[in-house]
Copies of this chain bind each other. A is one copy, B any other.
């Protein structure tokens, strides 16, 4: 299936710009910092997942744009905060100086806070109540103390050598990633389901939610494996961020634990499982499968 990612990226970016422009009483430096990070070149993978999931669940992609923007705001806030000196201390992101390098730490912290908050505002102001509420709950669970933030906390503890509870094996690696990136992917896919089916009596179909959850677990694994492989095999020019840093930091990675060849095989296995997961959607999930195939060939 041909998958026009570029057209969708442009739709998402136009929509993000409109959402930011609507915040008229926002102080100029704060608005600038928020826009700098939110509109920096990106793959817009998470928002596109929301759109494709809405389509897979019987809705229209354009209905998913507000939810797509919300997830990109949350993703961007997490990048801004993760890049801070107290966290990963990165100076390059999406090919540009990180937010705190450009605007200072205080403004970067506030820009992240404001983007996270704006995500929930966009949901509450863009959808009928049941859909808004369903999306908001999925987003909060995926992003919060048991989701993305938990993953980041475990990852930091790991790097600091403090997680004696987590042995240095595949199971620990998968637990960290299930929270750090998997939980937000799950939220993307479930928000798509809510956008498509949120106003049905009783809410979204349970079988559909299970199908997208199962697909999401595979997607998360493939994403993380290919991300780890890129840090070993990619260049800074391709990825827009520093490479080789995982090894330097002694970070737990798939190629580090399994080697490059077995990591690749594992990603291919998850591809098969992802296809099987979406079989109940009878072809409407082809866009999501195409995303997985792009990931397997990714170079950035």
Contact = CB atoms under 8 A, between A and B. Distances in A.
Q: Is the interface of A mostly helix, strand, loop or mixed?
A: helix
A105 B121 contact: no
Interface in A117-150: 117-118, 120-121, 123-125, 129-130, 132-134, 136-137, 139-141, 143-146, 149-150
B117 A145 contact: yes
Interface residues of A, number: 55
A75 to B, nearest CB: 13
Nearest to A100: B86
B157 A140 contact: no
Nearest to A131: B129
A188 interface: no
Interface in A25-45: 25-27, 29-31, 34
A119 B110 CA distance: 17
Contacts of A109: 81, 84, 86-87, 109
B129 A144 contact: no
B107 A146 contact: no
Interface string A70-108: 000000011001001011000000000000000011110
